[in-house]
Chain A
């Protein structure tokens, strides 16, 4: 199925959903030609709905719900965004009870580009547009693991040395919602140093994605220095699954490991 088919099907699905909800959050091409998240409330507007470029719309859901907690909203979600919302919901940032989600399954090219293992919805979203394609493995993670142990430090030093500390990775991250960010505290990350002190900045950020990061790759796409951030986060996500049996974003009920007691 081509992108165009998906787009038409999605516009129809959004227009149909508008009969049920007060508004649907999706990407819209503005009259000025750029693309931004938008709350579609009228079915005549859906002609401006677009799929690209990608932007994490779950943040918009959070913002609207803060102002209107009772509103019944719709939202268009990719597979990664759906799984990310599972985690934000567990951390009480959004309420999914009153949300009608329209899934948008990614194409094989998207999956290839994102090195995505699960480019489709289906954890809690039942309605979806586009054919489900199989996921792909992450060759970068495998390539990293093939590095000898003594080369790892210089590998990260090399890529982190390009960091200009713009905080784009944190700002775009749908899972970063703390009001007081540890990355801005001198005690954990010395301030006023560029590139940020190795490895504090990136290690602290990696630790704060634990049990929350679903690997949506927004940080990596936003990074102007092209740091392979998700290689580190994917490794840790894999470890969280191996150690605690917790697959991030895949279960609405399971308690995140770092919020749960041990079972003794």
Chain B
């Protein structure tokens, strides 16, 4: 049974100092963006380990969005430097495992960039919607049935 409209579940890890502020500003400004994003606030995008992203996918996320401060603006100097290396290689790993790499996206959003936040979320939601339900979600559902 296939539902007519697939609504993706997207987990967003937002850094407290920049991107969460950006999301907050988007809300204050009454900007409209898709409600598919479930936001998890973390103190730094450097806190988002690769295992955390895998866990989100394992738990049924169709996409994972990691948002952090622009390089050079990190509250902890170089937390986002780490993220900027981890996420691209994790995308490759997902690709090798048969999960579409575009289901994971890393973007920099500052606390002043409310419109950029809206644009990123909107665009990413469209991307994931077009990709359909996560390949891993299908695996998980089979496991539960078995």
Which residues in A have some Cβ–Cβ distance to B below 8 Å? 144, 149-157, 182, 187-188, 197-200, 203-204, 206-207, 210, 232, 235-236, 239-240, 243-244, 257-258, 261-262, 264
Mostly, the B contact residues are helix
CB closest chain-B residue, reference A160 = B97
Please measure, in the bound complex, the distance between the C-alpha atom of A89 and the C-alpha atom of B51, giving whole angstroms. 25
B86 contacts which chain A residues (CB < 8 A)?
258
Question: B98: which of A154, A197, A200 is its contact (CB, 8 Å)?
Answer: A154
Task: Write the chain A residue with the least CB distance to B77.
Answer: A261
Cβ-defined contact, A200 with B92, below 8 A? no
Hey, which chain B residues are within 8 Å of A244, CB to CB?
Answer: 85
New A-B contacts (4) at CB < 8 Å, excluding given A153-B135, A156-B98, A207-B89 = A188-B51, A203-B54, A207-B51, A232-B93
A153-B85 in contact given A182-B51, A204-B51, A207-B90 (Cβ < 8 Å): no
Report if A153-B139 is in contact (Cβ < 8 Å); known contacts: A258-B82, A262-B81, A264-B71: yes
Interchain Cβ contacts under 8 Å between A and B, 15 examples: A149-B100, A152-B98, A153-B98, A153-B139, A154-B98, A187-B51, A197-B143, A198-B143, A199-B136, A200-B51, A200-B58, A204-B50, A240-B89, A257-B85, A262-B78
| Closest partner residue, chain B, to A151 (CB atom) | B98
B89, A203: Cβ atoms closer than 8 Å? no
Tell me how far the C-beta of A211 lies from the nearest C-beta in chain B, rounded to whole angstroms: 9
Cβ contacts B109-121/A at 8 Å (1 or 0 each): 0000000000000
CA distance A239 to B50 in the complex (A): 16
A261-B78 contact given A199-B136, A210-B89, CB 8 Å threshold: yes
Cβ contact of A197, chosen from B58, B72, B78, B85, cutoff 8 A: B58
Q: Given A188-B55, A207-B50, does the pair A262, B84 have CB atoms closer than 8 Å?
A: yes
Query: Across the interface, do A239 and B92 meet the contact criterion of CB distance under 8 Å?
Result: yes
